[in-house]
Amino acid sequence: MSAGTLAAARQSGWGWLLPAIGLTLLLSALHLSTGARPTPLPVLFDALTAFDPANFDQRILLSLRLPRLCAALLSGAAIGVAGLLLQSLLRNPLAEPHILGLNAGASLAVVIATTLPAALQPVGLARPLLAALGGALVFSAVFALSSAGRLGLTMAKLTFCGIALSALASALVSAILILDQETLEAVRFWLVGDLAGASWREVNAALAPAALATSATLMIAPRLDAMALGDASATGLGVSVRTTRLIGLGAAALLSGAAVSMVGPIGFVGLIVPGLAFRLAGGRHLPALALSAIGGATLLIAADLMARSLIASHEIATGIMTALIGAPVFLAIVARRVK
């Protein structure tokens, strides 16, 4: 690729895609090979082409590290896209699944379902859908409460309502967990956003909702560009604002539900990535969505790597790591953008 075409690609917003994919692949390789028992990459190649059940290294890779990597990639991408959708649709740089109560609602739904008798436990596809439903319910309450009033949906009101209802949902989760020891055992690690428990079963279950939400997002991506001009201009350009917003918010709920069902409530990835991706993509939504997905995946893998290797012999939950990086970003946005 010559310098001229590269510059042209940059201008159209797609130029950063290749470097981002390269970075993701590099980090994925690093993610697969680091751990308590370092495994060189050729082992992965062997495991995929000529699987040998007796080989210990190959089994570690296929049954522990690969599902963990896939869960991180898939949920990071889902959170990134959900964050961009929320920020564009609500025109609010602080909109993020964690802050707006989607994660807390999803956790509450999953925890309530876990207390049910074994026959009623959500298995397979039901788990991500249930998480999405819980997230959507809490988010609808946040949305309704913050849209009230003469000024409509302001940044401060939305953020504050999200924080308030998240606090309610997490207080209920703690109360349930204190009362029910078995549920506590079942969800303890999942609840702090720990990727260590990720397994193929959860990744497979989350694939279908994530794919559905992604196709819905791709469908409305061109309309998002028009909506960035304001509701009135978008309506003038022939975009049905209400339908687009409904589809977009539904997709965001599905995506964050899928992510929560895999890796637990991980915050702040959707705050850090989309703003950056949108700027790099030159303000166009289709490339920005692609960049957000890849960026979210990259950030989550990086956070997971740091969580596993920062302090030797101790594994920090990945959600703590993303909060450590994300809270300063939140502070920076608040200090700059909130009146």
Partner 1 sequence: MTAAAYRRFRLGPVSLRFHARRAALCIALTLLLIALAFAALVTGSGDAGLADALAFLTRPAETGHSIVGDIRAPRIAMALACGAMLGLSGAALQTLTRNGLADPGLLGVREGASLAVITLMLSSPSAPLLLRPLAGMAGGLIVALIAMVIARSLSRLRFILVGIGLSWFLSAVISMILVTADIDSVQAAMVWMAGSLSGTQPGMLPPAFACLFVGSSLLVLTMRSAEVSLLGETAAIGLGMRVVRFRMAAIAASVLMTAAAASCAGSLGFVGLLAPHLTRFLVGGGQAALLAGSAILGAGLVLLADTIGRTLFAPVQIPAGIVLSVLGVVLLCMLLWQRRNQI
Residues near partner 1 (CB under 8 A): 145-146, 148-151, 154, 156-157, 159-161, 163-165, 167-168, 171-172, 174-175, 178-179, 192, 267, 311, 314-317, 320-321, 323-324, 326-328, 330-331, 334-335, 338-339
Q: Provide the token pair at 117.
A: 């008798």
CB of 186 to partner 1, least distance (A): 18
CB of 171 to partner 1, least distance (A): 4
Nearer to partner 1, 119 or 314 (CB): 314
Nearer to partner 1, 167 or 211 (CB): 167
Q: Who contacts 40 (Cβ-Cβ below 8 Å, separation ≥6)? A: 33
Distance CA 47, CA 172 (A): 44
Nearer to partner 1, 58 or 103 (CB): 103
CB of 314 to partner 1, least distance (A): 5
19-41 burial, b at 16+ Cβ within 10 Å, e below that, comes to ebeebbeebbeebbeeeeeebee
CB of 325 to partner 1, least distance (A): 9
Contact 277, 295 (CB under 8 A): yes
Nearer to partner 1, 146 or 261 (CB): 146
CB of 267 to partner 1, least distance (A): 8
Phi-psi region of 319 (alpha: psi -120 to 50; beta: other; left: phi over 0): alpha
Distance CA 154, CA 222 (A): 25
Nearer to partner 1, 96 or 202 (CB): 96
Q: Helix, strand, or coil here: 144?
A: helix
